[in-house]
Amino acid sequence: MARTPSHMVPLGTPAPDFELLDVISGKMIHLAALPPAIGTVIMFICNHCPFVRYIQPELVRLTREYIVKGIRFLAISANDARQYPEDGPEHMLEVARELCYPFPYLYDETQETARAYEAACTPDFFIYDRQMKLVYRGQMDDARPGNDQPLNGKDMRAALDALIKGEPVSPLQKPSLGCNIKWKMEMI
């Protein structure tokens, strides 16, 4: 498995707008049309990545805990489904149902959204404040498959707690680490 770190996009960067299909509801989600929230977490995940599979239990726990506190979560799969069919919309829906995802699971077929966010890996997390300015980008916690670190979401929890309290989010942030996004091969 490739170990790719996330890009550390500059804090304060505005969230790129997008309109993507939510495979769970079958509806299009337009970021700019969503009502305001205390914070918005954009997560680049997929079905087949061992890093994502490893964190899924904590990811579901964390999102359930913070949704009721006014945080919005949107997961996006941008992998090339031709190369990785298990990351396509039908399988995304199966995984979302199986794990009871409490957030929309969006399909970025063109990969334009992943490129706009400078997403590099799965999982890759971006947290935005009320004004949709980036306040956190990086890892959920130090846990990785096989490293015996606790799976507790401590880094994201600290950022979300600060956001909810109206306090500054610490700029000391560690990149996420996971499988690289499976980009489509350019046709020549």
pLDDT (tens digit per residue) in 21-73: 999 999 999 999 999 999 999 999 999 888 999 999 999 999 999 999 999 99
Position 2 confidence tier, pLDDT thresholds 50, 70, 90:
low
Count of C-beta atoms within a 10 Å radius of residue 152: 15
pLDDT digits (tens, 9 = 90+) for 116-132: 999 999 999 999 999 99
Give the integer Cα–Cα distance in Å for 161 and 3.
29
CA distance 41 to 3: 22
- pLDDT at position 178, please? 86
Q: What is the mean pLDDT of the chain?
A: 93
Q: Are 23 and 93 in contact (CB under 8 A)?
A: yes
When pLDDT is cut at 50, 70 and 90, the band that residue 186 belongs to is low
Q: What length is written for the chain? A: 188
Q: How far apart are CA 114 and CA 104, in angstroms?
A: 16
pLDDT value at position 84? 87
In tens, the pLDDT along 85-105 reads 888 889 999 999 999 999 999
User: In 3-state terms, what secondary structure has residue 81?
Assistant: coil
CA distance to 44, 55, 79, 126, 180, per residue, from 3 (Å): 15, 15, 16, 19, 7
Cβ proximity of 134 and 17 under 8 Å? no
Please answer whether residues 135 and 15 qualify as being in contact, where contact means their C-beta atoms are separated by less than 8 angstroms: no
Domain boundaries, the chain: 4-180
| Total Cβ atoms within 10 A of residue 71 | 21
Cα–Cα separations (whole angstroms), residue 42 to 1, 85, 137: 23, 23, 10
Cα separation, 110 vs 108, whole angstroms? 6
CATH top-level class of 4-180: alpha beta
Work out the number of other CB atoms within 10 angstroms of the CB of residue 34: 13
Identity at 182, one-letter amino acid code: K
